[in-house]
Amino acid sequence: MDLLNKTAVVIGGGAGIGRAGVLALARAGCDVVVADIDEAAAKAVASEVEGLGRRSFAVACDTTRTEDLADLHRQTSEVMGQTDIVWSHAGTSVAGPLEQIPLERWEHVLDVNAVGVVRAFLEFGPEMVARGYGHLIVTSSSLGLFPEQVPLGGAYTLSKSGLIGLARTLNAYLSPQGVGVTLLCPDITNTRHTLNVPLVGIPTEVFEAGLELEALQSPDEVADALLAGLRDDTFLVSLTPDVRQKLHDDIDQMTGRGQVPDGAVIVQSGRLVIDAALHDRASAAIGELVAKSVHDAGNISFVISADLVARGVFYVYEEWESQSALDQHADSEHGRAFVGMLPSLGMRELSLRVHRVESSQEVTIPV
Residue 281 confidence (pLDDT): 94
d(CA 11, CA 42): 10
Q: Which amino acid is at 239?
A: L
Which domain range does residue 315 map to?
A: 258-357
325: buried, middle or exposed (CB in 10 Å: 19+, 13-18, 0-12)? buried
Residue 367 pLDDT? 57
CATH assignment at residue 312: 3.30.70.100
- 45 near 123, Cβ under 8 Å? no
**Would residue 367 count as lying in a domain?**
no
The C-alpha atoms of residue 234 and residue 296 are separated, in whole angstroms, by: 45
Quick one: 45 and 187 in the same domain? yes
Share of the chain above pLDDT 70, in %: 94
For residues 214 and 309, state if they share a domain. no
Q: Amino acid letter at 85?
A: I
Confidence band (pLDDT; 50, 70, 90) for 136?
Answer: very high
Domain count, the chain: 2
Residue 76 shares a structural domain with residue 151? yes
Is 274 a residue whose pLDDT tops 80?
yes
Decide if 363 is inside a domain. no
Taking residue 318's Cβ as centre, other Cβ atoms within 10 Å add up to 25
Query: Is residue 2 assigned to a domain?
Result: no
| CA triple 5-26-72, angle to 5 deg | 80
In whole angstroms, give the CA distance from residue 243 to residue 225. Answer: 14
pLDDT(261) > 60: no
Q: What are the DSSP calls for 271-302, one per residue? A: EEE--GGGHHHHHHHHHHHHHHHTTSTTEEEE
Residue 364 lies in a domain: no
Residues 219 and 300 occupy one common structural domain: no
Looking at the fold, whether 206 and 277 belong to one and the same domain comes out as: no
Per-residue pLDDT tens over the stretch 154-189: 999 999 999 999 999 999 999 999 999 999 999 988
Considering the domain boundaries, does residue 365 fall inside one?
Answer: no
Q: How many Å apart are CA 362 and CA 358, to the nearest integer?
A: 14
Q: What are phi and psi of 136, to 5 degrees?
A: -110, 135
Can you give 20-68 as a three-state secondary structure string? HHHHHHHHCCCEEEEEECCHHHHHHHHHHHHHCCCCEEEEECCCCCHHH
In 3D space, the residue among 23, 33, 121, 21 whose CA is nearest the CA of residue 76 turns out to be: 33
Strands (E) located in the chain: 7-11, 31-36, 56-60, 85-88, 134-139, 179-185, 236-238, 265-273, 299-306, 313-320, 349-357
Convert the pLDDT of each residue in 275-327 to its tens digit. 999 999 999 999 999 999 999 999 999 999 999 999 999 999 999 998 889 99
What average pLDDT does the segment 214-225 reach? 90
Residues 158 and 221 grouped into a single domain: yes
* pLDDT tens digits along 338-348: 999 999 999 99
Residues 78 and 195 in one domain: yes
